[in-house]
Amino acid sequence: MGSLVLKDKDARQSIVEQLDRCLLVEAGAGSGKTRSLVDRMVTLIKEGKCKIGTLAAVTFTRKAAAELKGRFQVALEKVFANETDPIKKERLGNALSELDRCFLGTIHSFCAAILRERPIEAGLDPEFKELDDLEDVYLRNKVWEEFLLNVQTQEQCKMDDLLKIDVSARDLKDCYLKLSLFPDVKVIREEVEAPDLKEVRTELNTYLDWVQGVLPEKVPPKGWDDLQKILRKALRWRRIFGLNDNLILMRLLNAINKTGKITQNRWPDKDNAKLAKTKFDQFKEKLINPTLEKWWEHRHSRLVEFVLPAVNLYQARRLEQSKLNYQDLLMFTADLLKSNPEVRQYFQQRYTHLLVDEFQDTDPIQAEIMFYLTGEDINEKDWRKIVPRQGSLFVVGDPKQAIYRFRRADIDTYNGVKEIISNSGGNVLYLTTNFRSVRAIGDNVNPVFKTLLPQEANSYQAAFNNFDTVRINGEGVSGVRINSIPKVNRNKQEEIVSIDAARIARWIRWAIDGNVKLTRSDEEIASGLTEQAIPRDFMILLRNKKHMNIYTMALEHYGIPFQIAGGEGLSNSEEITELIKVLRAIIDPDDPIMLAAALRGSFFGLSDRQFWQFKKAGGKFHIDSAIPDSINQNDQETFQWAYGKLKTYKDWILTLPGSSALEKILMDIGIIPYTLTGELGKSRSGYILQCLEFVANAERSGISTFSSLVDYLTLIVDSGVEEEINIAPWENDCVRLMNLHKAKGLEAPIVFLAKPVGKVDFPPTVHINRLGDEPSGYFVIDKRSNFTSEVLGQPINWQQNADVEKNYLNAEEIRLLYVAATRAKNLLVISTYSGKPELSPWYLLQEHLTEVAELDDCSGYQYSVEVEEVQLTREEIELARKNCFSIDNPINKASYQTLLVSAIAKERGHVPARKRTDKGFSWGRVIHRVLEAYVKNPPTNAELFVMNILAEEDRDKGEKDQVLSLVEDITKSPLWQRMLKSKQRFVEVPLSLREEGIIISGVIDLVFLEEDGWVIVDYKTDAVENNDHLQELVKYYTPQIQTYKKFWEESTNTIVFEAGLYFTSINKFIKI
């Protein structure tokens, strides 16, 4: 591949050559966008376009930021080592020594840094706190409850106004949550008159009078059909409530607004059945739908006006408590830069070059911040009119992978930024070479997206660009395969998914048992991988979270390790749900229903029979009540045990910090060992430990009462936190299972697009228009329960906006397919369902891949795990439960010991006599720190620098001359001159080395690279009396320097040519 000429070679060259132009780089999947960022950053430093402290790179996630920082440092070191120009080498060396001054992080952390630097101008408390997602949701919920209480007690008229339009305030929480996500958007609402119901009332009465005579008098043998059920409900309502009340009539119209299918053989007369259906459809189209729409429009403005004060209260509470959520960070930063030219100018000088990654999926407000920081005119407030300074802005993104519209990402903003950069003298570059996938994947996938994507970008969709795969197929498995699921009776989703999961798990088992070979890339070979497939070579992608547990169970059945990202585990955790019942029973012992629920649950397991006998004997459901003597002894002991446990737990929550009490309750219940013994034990127990950590964090952030912590725990479950904690992190050779949105930026040799049912197709409920001067939002207000949704209000002419939004969503669905199809390195497997192909979220891929072969059939492959039968007694189980978290339990003991390198010398040899100098350990720290600074960046004012170091170490400033004299002698030494001429040099290098269960740690003072290899130097500030004493010290410190040598050679896979001790008191280097 080294001699291959890349089709996008010129674009890649422009990234490092056009340093004085703003660039937007559209980097296709697998094209090396991080590499392009790193190359640009290194070149800017090397060519002197900016210093490390004025460079800022903004990423989409913290994980991406950490990866970028590591790769940037490695690239700097590599270029520094090979650079021959002394001026450029100095620039690179300074950048390496001051790497921490470069900002590398998410947009939210970047905004937080700006606001913390100028909080007063932003109108913020300098000590403001950043809210994470869970804390934000918790506060949002609390404010909603506060708002409702205020309205009920102080503004009851508002509640009465809602009742007049037949809406409960409790049903508006979803609306409140929705509007809270868009504080920068103007909510569009308009006063609309209530519909005139005279005609619809008359027509409905007429239709019901007629239909009453054609309906069957008795239940048909196979039951009522759908239309009959609808009409019987309407007749029943008319009989009981009448149709004169407008609210009753509107409820009825909403209830019968359904399709109403008919089964003709269930009607006395088939012609009347067809006529009833025709009349019903006409009535719906002519009157029901228009009337409901007018009713929803009439309600809409009133509902929005009721909710907006709650949204404002939520913002006020955050500011009162000096707490900012992620949206606040963006908005306050944008407003600070927009309204303060002086501040804008300051930060433009602070960050002269801004690089932005994954721009297609970031918040639109980021575009404002981006241009305020790079614009030529610091007084221009409209970011769309700003012209960025040439070379100041570098943006990387791929509009074909814009998949986060539901998180405020907006492709209109991306297109707008692209146009601004292009029209203001910048360039738009395209990276199309794909280094990830083998050619067989590109040959199959490219034609699909050439059809699905337009040749030129439009308002909704990105343009098609070939992704030019360059990896050869090799002899291993490669290309695209179909995993076809046969027809299932009634197209039952769960059955289809179960078949798919079993097939995939069995195939993976078959593959890792030696039946599949992979052609490895050069990087994979270098990392030690062979052609043999291993679990971490596989990734299973689902379009959404639902049914993910079926795949985990199938993998577990075949003994395949796995990790989950983006699942429903916390939401579906039975153990946590049962635990919350117990905790609520403790919090409110006067609630008999909650107590009964806790006793009836998994952890106490009392039966209905025991409840009945207990109640019949006069027992009370209160933990402080007496147990009746008249029930049998076993039941009596059971209730005494259960009530005793709950009273103990109550004492704990009253006397211990909340998180400590919760941990003790978990230990006593034995929830971890109980969970570990069941299906998916590691995952389920991981959720519990994750919740415990969340609760502890919440307590540290100020949620201190036990009741509030239980509310917080409930919120965690309801919110469905997506990340799974791994309680066995050493097991990293795992199949990765995740929903599609979590797969962004990831790759695997073999990728399964699983679950060929459950295509996502929900009607839009939000449309944000950002094309004007002010973003405007159109929000449908609905009530959701039990997987159903009922419209409460909608903006006028909603359908027109819904159609536009649907175009955006349909376009994004194709981009999601692009993301899915471009994750695989060697083999892409698409699950399909033959019974009803259009049910599949991968249908468009399947439709265009008609010539693709079936996945290898391994249906006859047998796999079984022999499990040794273990007999446990009740006493053993009780003891294990008791000792689960005990410090005496081997599982809770450290599996390693720690040891400092300096301690090795003390353990292995006689400690030499020390000449008393009364200087102490801090003298050694002073010398080390000054020498470190002289290597990294020699101070311009050496005297002042040394005095500051002495002050920090609380030493006499009169020692300044002694320090300077000693350091001057050292810097004139032959060893120091060698170091200055070296190719690479590092100071204060931390090390960590594991040997026979012991982790050895320390710091190497100086290491530098010469032609023959590395040289390691360890400074020693011991006072040396004579040559014999010197030899004693050398012998004593030799094990330490040998450890450093071993560590460096093993870590870098290079040779240490020379290692020794530098005794500063006599200015002498001794080789070991």
Could you tell me which of 931, 911, 907 has the C-alpha nearest to residue 1021? 931
- pLDDT at residue 984, as a whole number: 87
Whether 422 and 476 map to the same domain: the answer is: no
User: What is the count of structural domains for the chain?
Assistant: 5
Domain boundary residue among 261, 288, 320? Answer: 320
Whether 214 and 340 map to the same domain: the answer is: no
Higher pLDDT residue, 443 or 688? 443
In a domain, 649, yes or no: yes
Tokens standing for 641? 């045990």
Tell me the pLDDT tens digit for each residue of 609-625. Answer: 999 999 999 999 999 99
Range of weakest confidence among 31-35, 232-236, 608-612, 917-921? 917-921
Residue type, 940: T
Whether 387 and 413 map to the same domain: the answer is: yes
In a domain, 976, yes or no: yes
**How many Cβ atoms sit within 10 Å of the Cβ of residue 678?**
11
Tokens standing for 91? 């620039």
C-beta of residue 404 within 8 angstroms of C-beta of residue 816: no
Q: Tell me how far apart the terminal alpha carbons of the chain are, to the nearest angstrom.
A: 45
- pLDDT at residue 731, as a whole number: 64
- pLDDT at residue 903, as a whole number: 62
CATH code where residue 643 lies? 1.10.486.10
Q: With helix as H, strand as E and coil as C, how does 161-228 read?
A: HHHHCCCCHHHHHHHHHHHHCCCCCEECCCCCCCCCCHHHHHHHHHHHHHHHCCCCCCCCCCCCCHHH
Task: Give the position of tokens 């900002």.
Answer: 103
Tokens standing for 80? 């520094």
Identity of the highest mean pLDDT range in 231-240, 459-468, 760-769: 231-240
Range of weakest confidence among 10-19, 344-353, 992-1001? 992-1001
Could you tell me which of 712, 135, 826 has the C-alpha nearest to residue 479? 826
- pLDDT at residue 684, as a whole number: 80
Residue 610 parent element (H or E): helix 608-616
Tell whether the model's pLDDT for residue 917 goes beyond 90. no
Tell whether the model's pLDDT for residue 900 goes beyond 70. no
CA–CA gap between residue 403 and residue 360 (Å, rounded) = 8
Whether 837 and 710 map to the same domain: the answer is: no
Tell whether the model's pLDDT for residue 720 goes beyond 70. no
Angstrom CA distances, 106 to 24, 58, 68, 69, 359, stand at 19, 5, 11, 12, 11
In a domain, 256, yes or no: yes
- pLDDT at residue 254, as a whole number: 96
Tell me the pLDDT tens digit for each residue of 514-562. Answer: 999 999 998 899 889 999 999 999 999 999 988 998 999 999 999 999 9
Task: Give the position of tokens 């997506």.
Answer: 722
Tell whether the model's pLDDT for residue 911 goes beyond 60. yes
Identity of the highest mean pLDDT range in 158-162, 558-562, 685-689, 912-916: 158-162
Whether 479 and 415 map to the same domain: the answer is: no
In a domain, 443, yes or no: no
In a domain, 803, yes or no: yes
Q: What percent of the chain is predicted at pLDDT more than 70?
A: 93
Could you tell me which of 681, 501, 722 has the C-alpha nearest to residue 575? 681
What integer is the mean pLDDT of 70-89?
94
Residue type, 213: G
Tokens standing for 929? 């720190």
Could you tell me which of 572, 555, 866, 544 has the C-alpha nearest to residue 734? 555
DSSP code, position 477? -
- Categorize the per-residue pLDDT at 305 as very low, low, confident or very high, splitting at 50, 70 and 90: very high
CA–CA gap between residue 520 and residue 485 (Å, rounded) = 30
Tell me the pLDDT tens digit for each residue of 993-1012. Answer: 777 667 777 889 999 999 88
Supply the range of the domain harboring residue 973: 897-1071
In a domain, 885, yes or no: no
Whether 333 and 247 map to the same domain: the answer is: no
Task: Give the position of tokens 């010197």.
Answer: 1030
What integer is the mean pLDDT of 229-249?
97
- Categorize the per-residue pLDDT at 700 as very low, low, confident or very high, splitting at 50, 70 and 90: confident
The number of residues making up the chain comes to: 1072
Tokens standing for 998? 């012991």
Whether 531 and 582 map to the same domain: the answer is: no
**How many Cβ atoms sit within 10 Å of the Cβ of residue 488?**
19
Residue type, 576: I
- pLDDT at residue 647, as a whole number: 96
Domain boundary residue among 797, 828, 854? Answer: 854
In a domain, 361, yes or no: yes
Tell whether the model's pLDDT for residue 82 goes beyond 60. yes
- pLDDT at residue 674, as a whole number: 83
CATH code where residue 955 lies? 3.90.320.10
Alpha carbons within 13 angstroms on the beta-carbon side of residue 104 total 20
Tell me the pLDDT tens digit for each residue of 32-75. Answer: 999 999 999 999 999 999 999 999 999 988 888 989 999 999 99
C-beta of residue 299 within 8 angstroms of C-beta of residue 165: yes
DSSP code, position 868? -
Exposure string (b/e) for 496-507, b if CB count within 10 Å is 16 or more? bbbbbbbbbbbb
C-beta of residue 950 within 8 angstroms of C-beta of residue 971: no
CATH code where residue 124 lies? 3.40.50.300
Domain boundary residue among 382, 412, 431? Answer: 431
C-beta of residue 752 within 8 angstroms of C-beta of residue 540: yes
DSSP string, 411-476: HHHHHHHHHHHHHTT-EEEEE-EEEEEEHHHHHHHHHHHHHHS-SS--SS-PPP---EEEE---SS
State whether residue 984 is helix, strand or coil: strand
Whether 248 and 331 map to the same domain: the answer is: no
C-beta of residue 482 within 8 angstroms of C-beta of residue 853: yes
DSSP string, 918-959: S-HHHHHHHHHHHHHHHHHS--SSHHHHHHHHHHHTT--GGG
Whether 953 and 992 map to the same domain: the answer is: yes
Average pLDDT, rounded, for the chain: 90
Tell whether the model's pLDDT for residue 891 goes beyond 90. no
Alpha carbons within 13 angstroms on the beta-carbon side of residue 38 total 20
Whether 291 and 396 map to the same domain: the answer is: no
Higher pLDDT residue, 948 or 9? 9
CA–CA gap between residue 497 and residue 551 (Å, rounded) = 8
| β pairing state of 998-1010 and 1013-1020 | antiparallel
- Categorize the per-residue pLDDT at 992 as very low, low, confident or very high, splitting at 50, 70 and 90: confident
Whether 147 and 32 map to the same domain: the answer is: no
Higher pLDDT residue, 336 or 733? 336
Tell whether the model's pLDDT for residue 462 goes beyond 80. yes
Whether 1025 and 935 map to the same domain: the answer is: yes
Tell me the pLDDT tens digit for each residue of 777-815. Answer: 999 999 987 678 899 999 999 999 999 999 999 999 999
In a domain, 782, yes or no: yes
What integer is the mean pLDDT of 150-177?
96
- The sign one gets for the Cα dihedral 126, 127, 133, 139 is negative
